[in-house]
A and B are shown apart, each in its own frame.
Chain A
Amino acid sequence: MTGPMFALSALLSHWARHKVQAALLLLGLALATALLTGVQAINAEARASYDRAASALSQDNLPRLVAERITVADYVALRRAGWPVSPVIEGEALIGGQTLRLIGIEPLTLPSGVAPDIGLAGDPTGFLTGEVILSAEALNDPRVRPAELPSGVALTDIGVAAGILGPEISYLLLTGDRPAPPGYALIHPATTDLSQLTESFHLNLAAFGYLAFGVGLFIVHSAIGLAFEQRRGMFRTLRALGLSARALTGLLLAELLVFALVAGAAGVLLGWLIAGALLPDVAATLRGLYGAEVGSGLTLRPVWWLSGLGIAVLGMLASAGQSLWRLGRLPVLAPAQSRAWGRESARAMRAQALAGAGLIGLGAALLAVRGLWAGFGVLAGLLLGGALMLPMLMAALTRAGQRLSRGTVAQWFWADTRQQLPGLSLALMALLLALAANIGVGTMVGSFRTSFTTWIDQRLAADLYVEAADEADATRLLAWLGNRAEALPMIRTTDGGTQIVGMVDHPLFRRAWPLLRALPDPWARLDAGDVFINEQLALRRGLAPGDRVEQGVIAGIYPDYGNPMPQVILSWDRHRALYPLPVLRYALITDIRAAEIRAAFPRVVVEDRAAIRKASVAVFERTFAVTAALNVLTLGVAALAMFASLLTLSSLRLPQVAPVWAMGLTRGRLAQLEFLRTLALAALICGLALPLGLALAWVLLAVVNVEAFGWRLPMLLFPGDWLRLGLLSLLAAGLAAALPVRWLARIAPAELLKVFAHER
């Protein structure tokens, strides 16, 4: 063995003797890497789905002609008059046991580059004249062939689609910039695509990923600090034996890199599992909220390995940088005196608090700036600033505790707690961040849920909602209903990325569309040609009642939760004149049961109020299921950080504990006090996390939500949740303290005596 190899084996022997420490280091880094790569994997998968959708179905980017009814003869008449149109028959179809969006295209007139390479070269005859359905889904249908398509979509020739969905043409794609021919309405493509629409959602996820990563690095930092601290004697010996400072640093760096790679690899696998577990929820949310189809399958891409390992190495270097830097400057014969790890002078603490206040101030200043990034800037400033100010606040609190306490033991308890603060501050910061994030997000979700459920109960005012497959079906249904039901037609189209709703003036709708702000007598104005717009549109464009949009003067603004799109309501007659579309949807005021209609009209989709409410609330709950899951994980990471720090401190604190023991406090009593101290610290952190969390909730509700989704919600408080969270964190702190405390309670008295014998 050569010199460096001896040195390396000496360095590594430390980990063999401190297995828990090694495990913590690996676990911390693996968890941090896992959360970040998991979230990134989810986002990457979703974005890949959007790209697939965009490249596969760019027909959505073309203007289209719609009419109440388009027959093949109508299409041919337009072609023969020189209109560059291509027909599409599109609808929901049950294929191989799965409901898919079936799109029937006419390949010969389809504008170039609209459809994906659908493999026509291999079997053109099949696609044009055979029964071939292309889909990315594995479907139990002999007609289906695999193809690179967005999930939930099947592509086929228009002839096949006509056989499944009926001969009527859904719409005509129009190439070129031309006005609509008489009898047709021109619907413009949306100006925003899916990735823009969902950007805020992914930004939310990413922010959580980074938060979890930051918290995870706290663990790594404390574990590395401990390992370096405990090996100070060994470092000195190695240096005295002739190992250069550079060689020692290099060896330690190599050691850390190995740890980083092992933890990174574990983290990538763990992240993959997390992403796989969360993806179905995310996919369901994206579908419910944005209509975006994201596949639920996740492949472990090579790029994740690269980025995951990179993240782990960077995180490791960031966590170990300080320790390595100090080591490099360690004089050869420096006394191996035990330095309170991470001790900071009062001055450094003040500077840190000042920086924290500065960050909070910067965040507050960002409130003046619009945009989602500014919103997250406010959040980051608040969280980081709060964390940086924590040591100063804790010092002040413990000082106050000391002043208020009677008796020497109590006074020692507070003073000793303050003495420990520098070593614990990182773990405490992690706990503070996790708790504040939990309170903030919990308050936001709770406020949202309350507003949302009230709103949806109001919105769903009719008894049944029906949608016919075609106009003939609708006519038969209305005749069948006769006077057993009052049927209110509903219609909506999307033009230029804005939903345009035609609304009948009826007391039911007046009840169901409460207005946030309005001009006097808004419904009469709507009938007279004014419009209502949703809150999203109003906030996005800074509009108020009395302002104008393209469709007319705004008479009212209504809440429209869960809808990412801008929406405009026109009077029924105006909508009919602008968009001559078939009327297929009706709200029914009736005591007929849904099942009765379904039995008589199998092709009519019937939903009752309760079912729609249930589905909407489910979408809502899923939207925040991921948030909740990440919240729990973050809290878990924080508890681990706490545990790591306490473990670190417990061995370092012997010189402080031994004199107290010598003065007559039993080991059991000491352990009790240690336990109590941990709980007291956790309780203090809970108290500090509450205002920070509420501030966070306010930013989320008043800034981030408004920017991301376009709706502003009242902030509601849920003290019950706080109590539960507080107890949970006390429990976590208690568990974290259990092992070190047990160790202290059972420590051999000889160990304590050694402190006085300088034999450590």
Chain B
Amino acid sequence: MNVKAIMLILMACAVSAPASGQGFAGLGSDAGGFEMPGPGPFDFPADHGPHPTFRIEWWYVTANLTAADGTEYGAQWTLFRNALAPHEAGGWASPQIWLAHAALTTATQHLAAEKLARGGIGQAGVTAEPFGAWIDDWELSDHMAARGEGFAFDLALHATGPIVAQGDGGYSVKSAAGQASRYYSQPFYAASGEVELDGKRIPVTGTAWMDREWSSQPLAADQTGWDWFSLSFDDGARLMGFRLRGATDFVSATWIGADGRPEPQPPGALRLTPLRSTTVAGREMPVEWRLELPAKGLDITTRALNDQAWNALSVPYWEGPIRAEGSHPGHGYLEMTGR
């Protein structure tokens, strides 16, 4: 069986897909039997753990790193939970499927790896207290570690600020029709450790950002892709912003002050303008953007560290470190599904 078939499993989890299509990676399909997210406060630490009655969930960490000689690196550690049925069961009968991506990016290289595991037997999973997420020998707890063909990283993570609820107190609306997810972030990690590239180990330090999100139907049927920014500015403020592309684009953003106080921005307040595109894996990807948020006096240009930061995995997408210049210099990560 090839990985493509596995991904088809994940894609086909919808009981009945809307005729108009399933959007990107099946995220726009019906919720069929799964719990729907609603507004309300988070329940920590339980909400750090998995929510098996929701169809999809992820633990998503990206890190911008610098070596002693000034060389920049980006590291990604992602664990997806995909439920074939809205419950958990012990042993092989578990309908929970885990999928993980890890990547290491330099200005000239982008290496990515993927892992798959089923729930119920302990090969992959997440515990809330103490927090730990794992799949095989990849781990995320107070450190994040992964290893793939030609690369590895092991970074200690230390939170320097509070957890931030995205959207309306953690209820993040994804379309005008009301599709939504539960969404919180930890954008204030200090990261330090080692990256390994082609057998060479390099000490690095930097910042990291974790996104936590779960939903059962996060996208509207016509939403086929997105461009997603997480930015850490030199002055300590943070910005999360995304554009979901559909019949009409849906743009959402949260401004996070240096003290960690979130200021959700009204839909469309953030203006995203592609400046330069390049061909990646046969697709046109905008790798340079202009971001404007007038309410905060923000007007920046972002450039990719490596234009070719393409995760050529079973579901391929662009995920790479970016640098911001302009009114608010800083760095961050950009994720694009392409068209």
Contact = CB atoms under 8 A, between A and B. Distances in A.
A500 interface: no
A477 interface: no
A157 B1 CA distance: 12
Contacts of B85: 125, 129
Interface string B87-109: 00001111101000000000000
B18 interface: no
B5 interface: yes
A110 B1 CA distance: 7
A44 interface: no
Interface stretch (A16-24, A111-119, A223-231, A271-279): A111-119
B117 A159 contact: no
B92 A80 contact: no
B95 A114 contact: no
Contact of A128 (B9, B121, B136, B147): B9
B122 A114 contact: no
Query: Which of A73, A118, A124 has most chain B Cβ within 10 Å?
Result: A124
A240 to B, nearest CB: 75
A113 B118 CA distance: 19
Please name the 5 residue pairs, one residue from A and one from B, whose CB atoms are nearest each other, closest first.
A159-B92, A124-B9, A82-B137, A108-B116, A121-B8
B11 to A, nearest CB: 9
A80 B123 CA distance: 7
Given A110-B1, A115-B1, 10 more contacts: A76-B121, A76-B122, A106-B118, A108-B6, A112-B2, A118-B5, A125-B12, A129-B94, A129-B95, A159-B93
Contacts of B94: 129
A76 B123 contact: yes
A128 B118 contact: yes
Nearest to A121: B8
B13 interface: yes
Contacts of A82: 136-137, 147
Interface in A669-695: none
Nearest to A73: B122
Contact of A79 (B1, B3, B84, B123): B123
A128 to B, nearest CB: 6
17 contacts: A76-B121, A79-B117, A80-B136, A80-B137, A82-B147, A113-B1, A115-B1, A117-B5, A118-B1, A120-B8, A121-B9, A124-B8, A124-B84, A125-B12, A128-B97, A128-B118, A159-B92
A107 interface: yes
A399 B261 CA distance: 122
Interface string A102-144: 0000111110111111101100110011000000000000000
B90 to A, nearest CB: 10
Contacts of B84: 124-125, 128-129
Contact of A114 (B1, B8, B97, B117): B1
A81 interface: yes
A360 interface: no
Contacts of A120: 1, 5-6, 8-9
Interface in B118-164: 118, 121-123, 134, 136-137, 147
B92 A107 contact: no
Query: Which of A108, A116, A125 has most chain B Cβ within 10 Å?
Result: A108
B227 to A, nearest CB: 29
A113 B9 contact: no
A158 interface: yes
B92 A162 contact: yes
A612 interface: no
B254 to A, nearest CB: 35
Given A72-B91, A124-B9, A113 B2 contact: yes
Contacts of B123: 75-76, 79-80, 109
B3 A112 contact: yes
B95 to A, nearest CB: 5
Interface of A: 72-73, 75-76, 79-82, 106-110, 112-118, 120-121, 124-125, 128-129, 157-159, 162
A120 B137 CA distance: 27
B117 A109 contact: yes
Contact of B95 (A73, A117, A128): A128
Interface string B2-45: 11011011001100000000000000000000000000000000
Contacts of B121: 72, 75-76
A162 B118 CA distance: 15
A732 to B, nearest CB: 58
B175 to A, nearest CB: 26
A82 B95 CA distance: 23
A125 B8 CA distance: 10
A544 B118 CA distance: 52
A358 to B, nearest CB: 58
A115 B1 CA distance: 5
A291 to B, nearest CB: 25
Contacts of B3: 112
Contacts of B95: 125, 128-129
A238 B285 CA distance: 84
Nearest to A77: B122
A113 B3 CA distance: 9
B118 to A, nearest CB: 5
Contacts of B136: 79-80, 82
Contacts of A109: 116-117, 123
Query: Which of A72, A80, A157 has most chain B Cβ within 10 Å?
Result: A80
A159 B119 CA distance: 12
Contacts of B12: 121, 124-125
Contact of B1 (A72, A76, A80, A107): A107
A612 B118 CA distance: 43
A108 B2 contact: no
Nearest to A112: B2
A709 B117 CA distance: 45
Contact of A107 (B6, B137, B147): B6
Query: Which of B8, B85, B97, B118 has most chain A Cβ within 10 Å?
Result: B118
Contacts of A157: 92
A125 B96 CA distance: 11
A86 to B, nearest CB: 11
A269 to B, nearest CB: 41
Nearest to B8: A121
Nearest to A114: B1
Contacts of A115: 1
Interface string B269-296: 0000000000000000000000000000
Nearest to A167: B91
A157 B116 CA distance: 15
Nearest to A122: B12
Contacts of A106: 92, 118
A80 B115 CA distance: 12
A73 B123 CA distance: 9
B97 A108 contact: yes
Contacts of A121: 5, 8-9, 12
A82 B1 CA distance: 21
Contacts of A108: 6, 97, 116-118
B291 to A, nearest CB: 39
Nearest to A125: B84
Nearest to B95: A129
A717 B272 CA distance: 95
A81 B137 contact: yes
A114 B97 CA distance: 20
B299 to A, nearest CB: 46
A129 B12 CA distance: 14
A112 B122 CA distance: 22
B241 to A, nearest CB: 34
Contacts of A124: 5, 8-9, 12-13, 84
Contacts of A118: 1, 5
A617 to B, nearest CB: 42
Contacts of A76: 121-123
A75 B117 CA distance: 12
Nearest to B136: A79
A151 B94 CA distance: 30
A276 B300 CA distance: 78
